[in-house]
């Protein structure tokens, strides 16, 4: 398999969703993460939500202990979860908005509107050696605020692009391209994710400077049919054609 320019972080939250649906101890989130690594994933992403609807605290510690690649912990700016992050020390945290009623993360974090509230947790996590990323819409004010905050990375929310019919995605693609260029000019690493699958992935290949794609639901769904390693391999193969500008 040709190594893609893009890195792949696999989100295994929905393995835990399946487990929690019946209150069993299977399927194992750790086993899923290890299968992703075996297939060539560059990192594992898990989201410890305040409502603990899928990933549990024990999963975070177990995955951190067992995987050999990077751990990206998605989390809201909630004091108890900040403390867990500081104890676990994942390689990266991605701060996201969170609402209890949502099925999944519905949009980017309002960094600009919450700058003061974010300053201390971001400082504490960076002092602990954790790379901090902001999950944001491709909005100029949010990108600038992320840089002002001192976060070295952003993750561009691709959900709006993915939710549109193919022939209506042009303006949203332009926003993503402009956002990636702005972020790169500010010295930020550009990651992206949300809603990406094998059918729409190539649609974002015009976005420059992308470093890592974090993809979960579509890979786990595909894995139900073909197995986790095959599902991850398929996504990695689909990422190979990306030739976007790199910093």
184-226: pLDDT as tens digits: 999 999 999 999 999 999 999 999 999 999 999 999 999 999 9
Enter the pTM of the model: 0.94
Instruction: Judge whether residue 104 has pLDDT over 60.
Output: no
- Secondary element (H or E) of residue 7: strand 7-11
* 217 in a structural domain: yes
Instruction: Judge whether residue 245 has pLDDT over 90.
Output: no
Using an 8 Å Cβ cutoff, are 50 and 84 in contact?
no
- Residue 43's CATH number: 3.20.20.70
Instruction: Judge whether residue 27 has pLDDT over 60.
Output: yes
Task: Give SS3 for 241.
Answer: coil
Mean pLDDT across the chain? 95
Cis-peptide into 27, omega within 30 deg: yes
* 224 in a structural domain: yes
Residue 65 is predicted with a pLDDT of 98
Residue 126 is predicted with a pLDDT of 97
* 246 in a structural domain: no
- Secondary element (H or E) of residue 163: helix 159-163
Instruction: Judge whether residue 2 has pLDDT over 90.
Output: no
Instruction: Judge whether residue 100 has pLDDT over 90.
Output: no
Which letter does DSSP use for residue 158 in this model? -
Q: How confident is the model at residue 5 (pLDDT cuts 50, 70, 90)?
A: confident
CA distance 12 to 217: 8
* 99 in a structural domain: yes
Write the pLDDT tens digit of every residue in 168-189.
Answer: 999 999 999 999 999 999 999 9
Q: How confident is the model at residue 120 (pLDDT cuts 50, 70, 90)?
A: very high
What is the span of the domain harbouring residue 234?
7-239
* 138 in a structural domain: yes
* 121 in a structural domain: yes
Q: How confident is the model at residue 1 (pLDDT cuts 50, 70, 90)?
A: low
DSSP E strands: which ranges in 41-187? Answer: 43-47, 70-75, 92-95, 131-136, 153-157
| Active centre residues (catalytic) | 47, 74, 194
Q: State the average pLDDT over residues 12-22.
A: 97
Asked whether the CA dihedral 224, 2, 201, 77 is positive or negative, the reply is positive
Instruction: Judge whether residue 106 has pLDDT over 70.
Output: no
Structural domain total, the chain: 1
Residue 86 is predicted with a pLDDT of 98
Instruction: Judge whether residue 246 has pLDDT over 70.
Output: no
Write the pLDDT tens digit of every residue in 35-80.
Answer: 999 999 999 999 999 999 999 999 999 999 999 999 999 999 999 9
* 76 in a structural domain: yes
Instruction: Judge whether residue 105 has pLDDT over 90.
Output: no
- The region, left, alpha or beta by phi > 0 then psi within -120 to 50, assigned to residue 40 is left
Ramachandran angles phi, psi of 93, nearest 5°: -120, 145
Q: How confident is the model at residue 144 (pLDDT cuts 50, 70, 90)?
A: very high
* 1 in a structural domain: no
Q: How confident is the model at residue 28 (pLDDT cuts 50, 70, 90)?
A: very high
């Amino acid at each position: 398999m040709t190594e893609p320019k893009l890195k792949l972080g696999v989100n295994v939250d929905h393995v835990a969703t399946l487990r929690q649906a019946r209150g069993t101890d299977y399927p194992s989130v750790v086993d899923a993460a290890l299968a992703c690594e075996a297939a060539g994933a560059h990192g594992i992403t898990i989201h410890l939500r305040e409502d603990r609807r899928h990933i549990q605290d024990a999963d975070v510690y177990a995955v951190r202990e067992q995987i050999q690649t990077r751990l990206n912990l998605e989390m809201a700016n909630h004091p108890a979860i900040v403390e867990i992050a500081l104890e676990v020390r994942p390689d990266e945290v991605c701060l996201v908005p969170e609402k209890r009623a949502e099925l999944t993360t519905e949009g980017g974090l309002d960094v600009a509107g919450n700058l003061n509230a974010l300053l201390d947790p971001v400082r504490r996590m960076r002092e602990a050696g954790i790379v901090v990323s902001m999950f944001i819409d491709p909005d100029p004010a949010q990108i600038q605020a992320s840089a002002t905050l001192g976060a070295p990375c952003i993750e561009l929310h691709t959900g709006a692009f993915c939710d549109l019919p193919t022939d209506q995605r042009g303006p949203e693609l332009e926003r993503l391209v402009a956002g990636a260029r702005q972020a790169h000019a500010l010295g930020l690493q550009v990651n992206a994710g949300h809603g990406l699958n094998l059918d729409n992935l190539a649609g974002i290949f015009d976005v420059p400077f992308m470093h890592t794609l974090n993809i979960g639901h579509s890979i786990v769904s595909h894995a139900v049919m073909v197995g986790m390693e095959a599902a991850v391999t398929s996504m990695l193969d689909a990422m190979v054609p990306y030739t976007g500008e790199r910093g």
